[in-house]
């Protein structure tokens, strides 16, 4: 490359320097396309990291949110919030679960899930409840959720970590059985149905079915973090539905509000009465604006058949990447192309963070996670043609990168 490499180190002087940022700023978007402040156009295969379910400036979402802002943004949870009931009822209908609690982000939803697990344990007389968590998991960056996370880089510098977690490898049921037989304090199993930050690693269907059985036998809660893989991304409303099982506790966030901050914990019969008045709360959680965003997102997804679209366009994108990178797959430099629907990981044989900047230069927004996995989590409105364009932009970048040795 002759041009200087775009660096992920462009801080903003008055903003705390917690992110590696590219030297570019986005100005506006439409569908799967965004423009920067210099007028350059990008194809968005990142979707705000699996957030912008309906793309940018969706013509049905924008007027609904404008109308809501003009009516009520926030009240408080001192009062009934009818839109909370409406969104909760919809999430229950889609998941088969019983009730929802609303918060503002993924980590908050997970933090609430962990509180439910501990309280569930205490209610059963277990003084020091423990939760089974996973290698390579990511659940957020609060002290409890980073402790549950299986990535030392996220934890380093924030010790002491919260206690009460037992860690196992993914897709190894014997490891869970072993913990079950030796640890009477376990009250819950907590995992992402498909690990996102950890590199797009799916829990196998038989594994999820096995966990469901063990949780039923032992009286444990099965808690499935669907913050990244939920809300239609894999072609079902929730990724665990592919395995034909139901969790007891399901944290959601990201795509639920199509960009408006929102989180939810959806619970089934075993967990529905664990928390009572005074046990949990949040000032902003469940505010009318976020609730309207959730209600409209789910309504528009149904109206536009976005689950089927995610599944079909995901196939197109995966297929185009597999054929474009066939030689690199054959010689092992592309180790795997995996995922479900529009949650796709392309694992290379080496760290490839530099591709984020190179892709942006080429007019494509992507992310790289777990050092060597290119992650594509675009909006669920992406068309097959746009998916082909993503592949047409990405394939030469990957081939050139790998050819550099």
Ligand X SMILES: Cc1ncc(COP(=O)(O)O)c(C=O)c1O
Binding site for ligand X (CB under 6 A): 105-107, 110, 138-140, 192, 196-197, 225, 227-228, 253
The CB-of-112 to ligand X minimum distance in angstroms stands at 12
> What's the token pair of residue 375?
């992650």
- CB-wise, 200 or 348, nearer to ligand X? 200
What phi and psi, each to the nearest 5 degrees, are found at residue 295? -60, -45
Q: Which CB sits closer to ligand X, 132 or 398?
A: 132
Q: Which residue, 262 or 306, has its beta carbon nearer to ligand X?
A: 262
Using alpha carbons, list the distances in angstroms from residue 41 to 10, 24, 239, 260: 20, 12, 32, 23
The number of beta carbons lying within 10 Å of the beta carbon of residue 275 is 19
Residue with nearest beta carbon to ligand X: 106
DSSP H/E element including 39: none
How far apart CA 140 and CA 149 sit, in angstroms, is 7
Question: How many angstroms separate the CA atoms of 326 and 88, rounded?
Answer: 45
Coil vs helix vs strand at 62: helix
**Tokens found for residue 332:** 């092992």
CA distance 351 to 373: 8
Cβ partners under 8 Å of residue 214, min gap 6:
173, 176, 177, 180, 189, 220
- Shortest separation between residue 105's beta carbon and ligand X, angstroms: 4
Which of 259, 256, 273, 262 is CA-nearest to residue 95?
A: 256
State the nearest-atom distance from the C-beta of 173 to ligand X, in Å.
21
Nearer to ligand X, 106 or 247 (CB): 106
For ligand X, the closer CB: 107 or 352: 107
Question: Nearest approach, Cβ of 184 to ligand X (angstroms)?
Answer: 28
CB 138, min distance to ligand X, A: 5
H or E segment to which residue 224 belongs:
strand 221-225
Q: Output the smallest distance, CB 263 to ligand X, in A.
A: 7
Comparison of 86 and 142: residue with beta carbon closer to ligand X = 142
Shortest Cβ distance from residue 41 to ligand X (Å)?
A: 26
Residue 290: its H or E element:
helix 288-303
Q: Which is nearer to ligand X, 262 or 307 (CB)?
A: 262
DSSP annotation of 128:
S
């Amino acid at each position: 490359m002759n041009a200087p490499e775009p660096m992920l180190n462009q801080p903003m002087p008055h903003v705390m320097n917690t992110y590696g940022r590219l030297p570019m700023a986005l100005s506006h978007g439409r569908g799967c396309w965004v423009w920067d402040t210099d007028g350059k156009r990008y194809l968005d295969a990142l979707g705000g990291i699996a957030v912008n379910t309906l793309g940018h400036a969706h013509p049905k979402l924008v007027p609904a949110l404008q109308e809501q802002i003009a009516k009520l943004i926030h009240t408080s949870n001192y009062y009934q919030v009818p839109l909370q009931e409406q969104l909760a009822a919809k999430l229950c209908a889609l998941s088969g679960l019983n009730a929802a609690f609303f918060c503002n982000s993924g980590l908050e939803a997970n933090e609430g899930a962990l509180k439910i697990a501990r309280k569930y344990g205490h209610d059963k007389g277990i003084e020091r409840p423990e939760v089974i968590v996973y290698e390579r998991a990511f659940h957020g960056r609060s002290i409890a959720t980073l402790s549950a996370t299986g990535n030392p880089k996220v934890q380093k510098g924030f010790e002491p970590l919260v206690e009460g977690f037992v860690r196992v490898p993914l897709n190894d049921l014997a490891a869970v059985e072993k913990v079950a037989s030796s640890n009477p304090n376990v009250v819950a199993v907590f995992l992402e149905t498909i690990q996102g930050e950890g590199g797009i690693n799916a829990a196998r269907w038989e594994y999820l079915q096995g966990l469901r059985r063990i949780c039923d036998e032992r009286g444990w809660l099965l808690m499935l973090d669907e913050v990244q893989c939920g809300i239609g991304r894999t072609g079902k409303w929730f990724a665990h539905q592919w395995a034909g099982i139901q969790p007891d506790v399901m944290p959601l966030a990201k795509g639920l509000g199509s960009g408006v901050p929102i989180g939810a914990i959806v619970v089934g019969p075993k967990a529905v009465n664990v928390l009572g008045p005074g046990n949990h709360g949040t000032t902003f959680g469940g505010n009318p604006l976020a609730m309207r965003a959730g209600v409209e997102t789910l309504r528009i997804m149904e109206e536009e058949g976005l689950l089927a679209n995610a599944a079909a366009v995901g196939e197109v994108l995966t297929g185009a990447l597999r054929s474009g990178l066939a030689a690199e797959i054959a010689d092992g430099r592309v180790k795997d192309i995996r995922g479900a629907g529009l949650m796709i990981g392309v694992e290379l044989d080496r760290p490839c963070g530099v591709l984020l900047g190179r892709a942006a230069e080429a007019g494509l927004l992507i992310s790289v996670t777990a050092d060597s996995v290119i992650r594509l989590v675009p909006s669920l409105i992406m068309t097959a043609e746009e998916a082909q364009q993503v592949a047409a932009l990405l394939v030469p970048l990957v081939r050139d990168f790998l050819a550099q040795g």
